[in-house]
Amino acid sequence: MTSNNNDFLVWNFDFALTTFYEVDAFQLETLIPPQLSLQEAAPGVGLINVTAFNFVEGQLGVLPEFQELILSAIVAPDLRRGVPSAAMFVLSLTSTCQEHLDHSHDYYKLPIVEKLTVSLLNKKNHEINFEDGEGKIAQINNCAPIIEYDNSKRYFQAFTKDGDDVLISDVFIEAPLFEHQENGDTGKLYEHPFFKGIEVDDPDVINFLQMINEPGSAGKQTYFKPTKFV
Amino acid sequence: MNEKDKLEDLFEYTLDMFLKSAGKDHAEITQFNRWRDGIVDANMYTFEVPHLHAQTPQVEVRRNSGEILDLICFASYNYLGYSYHPDVVQAAKDALDVYGLGATGSPVLNGTFDIHNILEKNLSEYFKRENLGTSLFSSGYGANVGVVSAYCHKGDYVVLDRSSHASLIDGAILSQANILMFKHNNVEHLEKILNKIDYENSRILVCVEGVYSTDGNYGNLSEIVPVAKKYGATVLVDEAHSLLVAGPGGRGVAEECGVLDEVDMIIGTFSKSFGGVGGCLIADKELVNYINYYARSRMFSCAIDPGVTGGLIKALELASGPDGDQKREKIKENAKHLRSLLRDKVDIGTAHSWIIPVIYGDEKLTIPLSDYLQHHGLDISLMMFPAVPKNRSRIRAFVTSEHSPEQVEKGAEILLNAAKEFNFLLD
């Protein structure tokens, strides 16, 4: 787990819920740059990742507490940099905080969409409910009956696009983590511009894996400034 | 980072993480070897360990360190012990004397010997159905890849159980057909998928297995086969882990479920209960004739070597007679015995075949647990994510008819001690 630069920001959070869903790989392929390739769960089965964070007050020194929702396609990582738990090409980012959205666009070059208007977190039940002016985006909940957290430091890679360039960032997440692949109801993703290009309102879109960071714990996301991927 | 932390870091990795790297360099190869070397250097590498004699219930292996270990073997697919049965070995030697070492060519060209024809004829007759033929392949993998890719083409549909063996999936990919997967053994999901296809105008192949080796459970053939037929699909059943073992006459799970006559293609593997190597398709003669020419894994591979073929003929002869009946009874007794020793103490799932999973959960335990089991006397197979779900990593015990009750008991004792040591005993 290494990083190639020292230009990073640390984001503190006290809640995170990540769900990976199986979707048609053909749809996803059209959304990622040609330099990247999908990591498939099975032939023709691509994976998306929908992650919600609750960042605590004081990020960037000034921001209030806010919530973020981020959508990615799971792609093959750049193993020259290290071996991540997963690599993601970011497709959409939204947040309850406009300053955060502007910063994410400028600093991380992330593809932002409209600011969230409704953001309900039920941390105790590991449930989120987000919508914006366009309507409902996602209601997601944990579906594992038993949760056992384990202290964890995970390395991820985040790809994004800046014009024709593909950029890559190293991301480290430290927080007590529970990961599972239980079958069960994890809520609903809605047809919404946030999911543009992916048919999420399909009963065959099923959850593949969930990662839950312990609510109330001092989670830390170390997110490096992106560099050009070559 | 100290040595212990470095090693624990290696335990975090799963094989899917080295599958493919972005970028021009093949960094996956470098990273995979870094991981492998770390495990080897720590003398915890339990894969590819050479066995020093036949795959009997008691084996000797040599670890990378040079250490020789005497182990009870629950890792071999030698379900009926035919790989070292004296009559089978003698038949192989006899064939070797007559035909030499290799077939030296494709079965379609010069590679077919008369003993291949005998094996084909005997297998077809074993299934007691009119107009059956048999096509031989030099591996079970080659049989599935060759049959599926020759039978299906662009525009067709291959519908697979989500737990299907890699060879079926690879065959489907190679065929360029549309690939659809239904939830494991879930007939409702299968029907939903079939309903979405324009089934009246499409060619559909539904692929299932007799016994799934991850859980040791039977394919739900009694429900799946009629539903597939209702939608006009061709049905392929891979009986790799069940041929000669399941069913009253050893004809597999399709026989046991009473749907054998409805199955269009039976795939068999010779590397498991036959104790040899190779694979076969048993199906209508016309289809077999076509597959013989169009399955590229057959056309462009050398035929099964003569020694093995001689041994396979003998193994089939033994398995279709009283010897097979006794062994089938014994393997089920042994499996029942092992299950009874483990049940309620560790999680063994709900299946009832001769493959018994012992769930240890956390994939990070895989390397140290595998090393522990070998060093405490057990040769056994471990399986982790992504082959099985997260937190459902498992040991798989392959029970054979040849294990003695004492070996089964000792195996259970080692497993339960491991469960105590690695904290996966049930409360």
| Percent of chain B predicted with pLDDT > 90 | 93
- Alpha helix positions (H), A30-86: none
Least confident window among A2-6, A155-159, B222-226, B367-371: A2-6
Q: State whether residue A80 sits within 8 Å of chain B by CB.
A: yes
Residue in chain A nearest B35 by alpha carbon: A83
Spell out which residues of chain B touch residue A32, defining contact as CB-CB under 8 Å. Answer: none
The answer to whether the beta carbons of residues B11 and B368 sit under 8 Å apart is yes
Using CA coordinates, name the residue in chain A closest to B24.
Answer: A230
Parallel/antiparallel/unpaired status of strands B234-238 and B265-269:
parallel
- Cα distances from A58 to residues A11, A55, A65, B283, in angstroms, run 9, 9, 7, 70
Cβ-based contacts of A45 with chain B (< 8 Å): 181
Q: Work out whether the CA dihedral B345, B351, B352, B358 comes out positive or negative.
A: negative
Q: Do B27 and A42 touch (CB under 8 A)?
A: no
CA distance B139 to B167: 10
Residue B345 phi, psi dihedral angles, 5° rounding: -105, -40
What span, in angstroms and rounded, lies between the C-alpha atoms of B150 and B169?
A: 14
CA A34 distance to own-chain centroid: 21
| Bond before B386 cis per omega within 30 degrees | yes
Pick from B361, B357, B362: nearest CA to B343: B357
Residue in B with minimal Cα distance to A33 = B22
Mean pLDDT of the B174-202 span: 94
Q: Residue written as tokens 């015995």?
A: B337
Give the integer Cα–Cα distance in Å for B290 and B150: 9
H-only helix segments in chain A: 25-29, 98-107
Q: What's the pLDDT score for residue A228?
A: 96
Q: A138 pairs with which residues across the strands?
A: A130, A189
Question: Contact B396/B382 with Cβ under 8 angstroms?
Answer: yes
Confidence category of residue B193, pLDDT binned at 50, 70, 90: very high
> Quick count: other Cβ atoms within 10 Å of Cβ B262?
16
% of chain A residues with pLDDT over 90: 80
The Cα-based distances of B185 to B191, B254, B385 in angstroms read 11, 14, 20
- Tell me if A77 and B392 make a contact (CB, 8 A cut-off): no
Minimal CA separation from A39 to chain B, in Å: 8
Radius of gyration of chain B (CA): 22
CA B374 to chain centre: 22
pLDDT at B109 over 70: yes
Decide if A79 and B390 are in contact by the 8 Å CB cutoff: no
The answer to whether A180 contacts B20, with C-beta atoms less than 8 Å apart, is no
**What pLDDT is stored for residue A1 in this prediction?**
44
Range from B111-115, B314-318, B423-427 carrying the lowest mean pLDDT: B423-427
pLDDT tens digits along A142-177:
999 999 999 989 999 999 999 999 999 999 999 999
Nearest to B13 among A75, A83, A181 (CB): A83
- Provide, rounded to the nearest whole percent, the portion of chain A with pLDDT above 70: 97
**Contact between B17 and A36 using a beta-carbon 8 Å cutoff:** no
Average pLDDT (A32-52) is 94
Residues 6+ away with beta carbon under 8 Å from B316: B119, B122, B123, B126, B244, B274
Helices B166-175 and B140-151: angle between axes, nearest 10 degrees: 30
The span from the CA of A48 to the CA of A28, in Å, is 8
Q: Looking at chain B, how many residues does it have?
A: 427
Asked whether the beta carbons of B316 and B275 are under 8 A apart, the reply is no
pLDDT confidence band for A5 (50 / 70 / 90): low
- For helices B306-319 and B114-126, give the axis angle rounded to 10 degrees: 20
For A78, the closest of B16, B21, B172 (CB atoms) is B21
Contact B421, B350 (CB under 8 A): no
Residue B374 scores a pLDDT above 90: yes
Written as six digits, the tokens of B230 are 């209702």
pLDDT band at B3; cut points 50, 70, 90: confident
- Note the pLDDT of residue B325: 98
Phi, psi of A175 (to 5 degrees): 180, 155
Q: Which of B22, B169, B172 lies closest to A75 in CB terms?
A: B22
> A8-228 has which fold?
Acetoacetate decarboxylase-like (2.40.400)
Of A35, A43, A76, the CB nearest to B21: A76
User: CA of B193, closest CA in chain A: separation in Å?
Assistant: 10
Is there a contact between A80 and B27 if contact means CB atoms under 8 Å apart?
A: yes
Task: DSSP letter for A12, please.
Answer: E
Considering only CB atoms, B390 lies closest to which of A79, A80, A179, namely A179
User: B415, B397 in Cβ contact below 8 A?
Assistant: yes
Closest CA to B281 of B167, B151, B147, B139: B147
Q: Which tokens is A135 given?
A: 């309507």
Mean pLDDT score, B396-415: 98
Calculate mean pLDDT across residues B129-158.
97
Contact residues on chain A for B20, CB-CB shorter than 8 A: 37, 39, 76
Say yes or no for a CB contact (<8 Å) between B21 and A75: no
Average pLDDT, chain B: 96
Which amino acid, one-letter code, is at B259? Answer: V
Q: According to CATH, what is the number of the domain B86-319?
A: 3.40.640.10
How confident is the model over B78-96, as pLDDT tens digits?
A: 999 999 999 999 999 999 9
Residue A131, beta-bridge partner list: A118, A136
The full DSSP string for B43-59 is T---TTPPBSS---SEE
Test mutation, A38, A83, A142, chain B, max B CBs within 10 A: A83
A80, A167, A199, A211: best to mutate for the B interface, most B CBs within 10 A:
A80
Domain boundaries, chain B: 42-73+325-421, 86-319
Name the CATH topology of B42-73+325-421.
Answer: Aspartate Aminotransferase, domain 1 (3.90.1150)
The pTM (predicted TM-score) of the whole model is 0.92
Instruction: Find the Cα–Cα–Cα–Cα dihedral A146, A151, A152, A153, rounded to 10°.
Output: 160
For residue B179, pLDDT over 60 is answered with yes
Strand partners of residue B396: B357, B381
Domain range summary for chain A, segments of one domain joined by + = 8-228
Tell me which chain A residues have a C-beta less than 8 angstroms from the C-beta of B30. Answer: 79-80
Mean local confidence (pLDDT), B215-223: 97
The ipTM assigned to this model is 0.87
Are A133 and A122 a contacting pair, CB within 8 Å?
Answer: no
Averaged pLDDT for residues B102-124: 97
Chain B residues with beta carbon closer than 8 angstroms to that of A87: 22
Q: Which of A79, A80, A205 to mutate to test the interface with B (most CBs of B within 10 A)?
A: A79
A146–B contact, CB cutoff 8 A: no
Report how far residue B208's alpha carbon sits from residue B194's, in angstroms, rounded to the nearest whole number. Answer: 14
How far B421 CA lies from chain A's nearest CA (Å)? 19
pLDDT in tens, A105-144: 999 999 999 888 888 889 888 999 999 999 999 999 999 9
Structure tokens at B365: 């335990």
CB contacts of B16 in chain A (<8 Å) are 39
CB contact (8 A) between residue B17 and residue A75:
no
Q: Is the pLDDT of residue A24 over 50?
A: yes
Contact flag B162-A42 (C-beta cutoff 8 Å): yes
CB within 8 A of B40, min separation 6: which ones? B64
pLDDT value at residue A2: 45
Please compute the mean of the pLDDT values over residues B97-112 and round it to a whole number.
97
